[in-house]
Amino acid sequence: MPDTVVIAGGGHAAGQAAVSLRHDGFTGRIVIVGEERYLPYQRPPLSKKFLAGELKLERLMLRHERFYIEHNIEVRLSTRVETIQREQKQVVLSNGDRLSYDRLILAIGSQVRKLDIPGSDLEGIHYLRGIDDALKIRAGFQPGAQIIVIGAGYIGLEVAAVAVTHGLSVTVVEMADRVMSRVVAPEVSEFFAQVHREAGVDIRCGRDPSSTLIGDQRVEALQSPDGSELPADMVIVGIGIQPTVEIAETAGLEIDNGIIVDEYCRTSDPCILAIGDCTNHPNNILGRRLRLESVHNAQEQAKTASATLCGKLHPYVQVPWFWSDQYDLKLQIVGLSGDHDSVILRGDPKDRSFAAFYMKGDLLIAVDAVNSAREFMLSKKLIANGSRLEPEILADTDIPFKDLAAAALA
């Protein structure tokens, strides 16, 4: 085992890596270097229960401070790794300090895509990535305030759901022709758009991207190219994220839509591993490389990296899954649907409980489950197993899904 492991990054992946290292028997020095002023925490609640004020700050923490003290894990907050000096096996920190490492884990995550239109530097424009972002947005949740959400992906729609529930006037503006267009079928998009409209959210898709944010220092409206304006007391932007790769690229590591790693989370430098949002990794179940933006990926890659450093080579082989909470709806997605050629609905969206099965021929490749936990859980096994299902039978709700799954897995 190495004597010193430095973990660059302070998010969920970083925290889990430290926890797993101690769990796997690593007794050397562990140093976490995190840019935020908070201990490693869970990000998903930021746009859900934490933003709504239903979850206290301490409940976000992956582990409390005493855990790091008791397990002799050094945590340097409000500091980031600026440079990797591979030959010296050192990192240079933002405060000028240097840390030597035997092994370095890059858990540097991702960063929000910034809006690139006139007026995007005005006050009152927010991005939701960290705790402080959520606190600033929540402070603006005054009843009757008018907010514009730019982007109708997971984050944008979750924020819209919380905001309208708190009495705000909410307009969602999306460049694509439907909500969550990159991840769900049109039938699922239409269902969620209708749910939001019924809650009072103004959904506007197919919008011209060449708009302008106007105001005197602080944002006051979003102006379309035709001159029409949408008033805004606050604008929240959720147009995706991109991997943080700059320090890895400068250090000469292999980069291609993320930091290239193998199935054991090793980079092109044998002394450096990478985990989480920043990685481009192989998936032997799907037969291709992926870059995933999910807690599940961050957590499982952290466990894999720990095992690698402790001499227990366990390849990272997982079916991707994601989730989104909007109102009383839990959307759970398993698999990747981009290569499907048909969609089978099981259940009626009007009942607010159904599932969309993405098929390639008779091969199940992904599922969107809305308030359908059983379909979600069993579909993980079906996809991992490469199961084939008859579409006509799959749509028949008179046949219990567990029976269909059992037959396919037999």
**Is the pLDDT assigned to residue 1 strictly greater than 80?**
no
pLDDT for the residue numbered 199: 97
For residue range 329-373, list pLDDT tens digits in order.
999 999 999 889 999 999 999 999 999 999 999 999 999 999 999
- Give the alpha-carbon dihedral of 332, 338, 339, 343, to 10 degrees: 50
Q: What is the DSSP string of 221-277?
A: EEE-TTS-EEE-SEEEE---EEE--HHHHHTT--BSSSEE--TTSB-SSTTEEE-GG
For residue 58, the SS3 value is helix
C-alpha 343, offset from chain centre: 24
Percent of the chain, pLDDT > 90? 94
pLDDT for the residue numbered 135: 97
Residues in CB range of 100: below 8 A, 6 or more apart: 4, 88, 89, 90
pLDDT for the residue numbered 153: 95
Here the tokens at position 399 are 């046949």
For residue range 378-404, list pLDDT tens digits in order.
999 999 999 999 888 999 999 999 999
**Is the pLDDT assigned to residue 84 strictly greater than 90?**
yes
pLDDT for the residue numbered 83: 97
What is the spatial distance between Cα 298 and Cα 16, in angstroms, rounded to a whole number?
8
For residue range 109-119, list pLDDT tens digits in order.
999 999 999 99
**Is the pLDDT assigned to residue 410 strictly greater than 90?**
no
Region 1-11 average pLDDT: 93
What is the spatial distance between Cα 61 and Cα 34, in angstroms, rounded to a whole number?
14
What are the structural domains, with CATH classification, of the chain?
A: 4-111+241-309 (3.50.50.60), 125-237 (3.50.50.60), 328-409 (3.30.390.30)
For residue range 23-53, list pLDDT tens digits in order.
999 999 999 999 999 999 999 999 999 999 9
Q: Identify the band that residue 314 occupies on the pLDDT scale cut at 50, 70 and 90.
A: very high
Residues in CB range of 284: below 8 A, 6 or more apart: 263, 315, 317
pLDDT for the residue numbered 300: 97
pLDDT for the residue numbered 192: 98
pLDDT for the residue numbered 391: 86
**Is the pLDDT assigned to residue 68 strictly greater than 90?**
yes
What is the spatial distance between Cα 23 and Cα 46, in angstroms, rounded to a whole number?
28
Q: Identify the band that residue 208 occupies on the pLDDT scale cut at 50, 70 and 90.
A: confident
**Is the pLDDT assigned to residue 409 strictly greater than 90?**
no
